[in-house]
Structure 1
Amino acid sequence: MMDQARLLWPPLIASLMVAGLLSITTGPLAIDPLDSLRALWATVVNTEVTSLQPHEQLVISNVRLPRTLLAIIIGALLAQCGAVMQGLFRNPLADPGIIGVASGAALGAAISIVVFPLAGDYLVPIAAFLGGLATTLAVYRLAHSRNGTSVTLLLLSGVAIGALTGSGIGFLTFVADETALRDLTLWQMGSLASAQWHSIGICLVAFAILAWQFQKNAQSLNALLLGEAEARHLGVEVEKLKIKLIMLTALGVGVSVAAAGMIGFIGLVVPHLIRMIIGPDHRTLLPLSAGLGAAILLLADLGARTWMAPAEMPVGLVTAILGAPFFLALLLNQRNRLG
């Protein structure tokens, strides 16, 4: 399996580079690809490209480059969080939103958009992160007892909290005015159009922390795949591991939702694809999932920008269009295995 992982890295890195270059050089505003690359290089070395109009260089440096970087980071974040959740629940159909963090973040954003419309754009990501953190803590408290944290109760609590936050979003949608309703709808669909350097910095720090911690606990996740009792016999502190991974996942998904809204199926589809190729070893599954998640979200965002140009589709719709059939195929495969 390790040899298969090594063979997978070159095409994955090449795909990521091609997707990144396409993302930077393609868009509704027609800019020659070579000029786009020159503008990108000028941005890196802090110079100007004389062959470009000022607004063209501005599009590359302040719109396409931040959007490309944000797509890479969020795709990697969501894919790694999905791989961890699937390992923790020992279920390939698990998703980062299973613990309620995505729905809680959406409720926090909805409250900010509808109740505090004049508070500015900075309040929305803060409210989204706090909402995701609050729901995660609530789910954990519901599932925790003196005997530890039940994965089944954690799942059911996440479903219940998700239904509750969904009703809250529905009520806010009902009472919202036209402007807030449009903002709320676009937020729920997910978009990378508002990528800013400060949000990229926050997401990058979160990804660095999570990638380090997830990789550090890869062997413990491998042991957990054998079962909780077996993992304890192998020296894994299962309860501490659950708490740690749940909180880290809440951080990753909360930051992602805060920066780009609701983007589904990356955390479900990507780890499963990698697992089908190289197996369940989290030492290689986690970094490869990050790379593939970044490439897929980049391509999905490129499609969102170009399929209906000059109009732009929310990237969450594109990932849903691509991910839903794959999810149905997984369900049918699970049904066939159960007979």
Structure 2
Amino acid sequence: MVAASAQWWIAAVLRILVNQLTQEDNLNVYRQIDMLLGGFSIKIMDDSNIPCKQHHLVDVFSCPVKKKNVLCQAIELSLKELMQINFPASERNILYADCRVTLCRTETDSFRLLCLNESGNDTLWNLNFDSNFSQFEYGLSHEAIEQGDLIQLAFNRFLLQHTFINHHGLIIHAAGGSIHGKGMVFPAVSGTGKSTLSHLLLPHPENQLFSEERIIMRRTDDGWHLWGTPWKGTGVIARNESAPLNALVFLSQAPETKISKLPPSAALRRLLETVSIPWYSQEWTDKGLSVCESLLRDIPVFELAFRPDQTAVQAVADLAASLD
């Protein structure tokens, strides 16, 4: 059963860009896009051969990324025309199911995901992917292309959160960036001050926010790092940049501004309210929780209870100055 905190699964993993690829309906389309996300190289190949004037592909970051922040391994995603399939009985090891979506593990330890349309009568798209969450093949129907939501659900639940967890990383509902030269992430549930603090920090040249909506955190060979993401909040902040991670600072609004160290139990509770973990699977939940525990062991955690004025900006600056 999906836990309540799963509501923070990414609202849209890759923002959809409508591209005018052809003026003739019967012209087959082939496109390849390379993008970078959270230090991963992502290759998107499209030979779906679906005649469509408005073809939905993936929005690519416009900001350059330093090569040293890119991992050798790549995620490969291919888009193909839908081939209707029925899962054999031997492959119906169902890991997750609702009225529209079914996820199964195959005998070869790969996975298949089937999504029905809203009426539940026809397949909207299906997805095959490997056990490392690095190779993905979409089968797309014409209806999926027209709706433009082919990427959203599968990427939310069955691609990026697993991929990053498998590489000791997490996607978190948070603002974050380089604050006075220190990598800081400000997790918060909706309505508790994430956008407010971001708008207070932005005017100061010492602060560079990479995102005010979603942040990727991952432990690499030289420690924990944070990355911006393409998913924009109200402030439309989406910088494809990275910084070493120095602190987690959970937010709450209060009459007076105060920063305090959070004990481990409170820190874990607050983290689980904001992080993306595949709760429907005990195996992957355990992997996600292991990453959370490692993060909280390695990175200092604070709470910023703040009044929405310059006292909050000063408190964050003072905290940055105190961090190693």
Bucket of the pairwise TM-score, normalised by the shorter protein: under 0.3
Give the TM-score taking structure 1 as reference length: 0.25
Q: As a proportion of its length, which structure holds more helix?
A: 1
RCO greater where, 1 or 2, for CA within 8 Å and sep 6 or more?
1
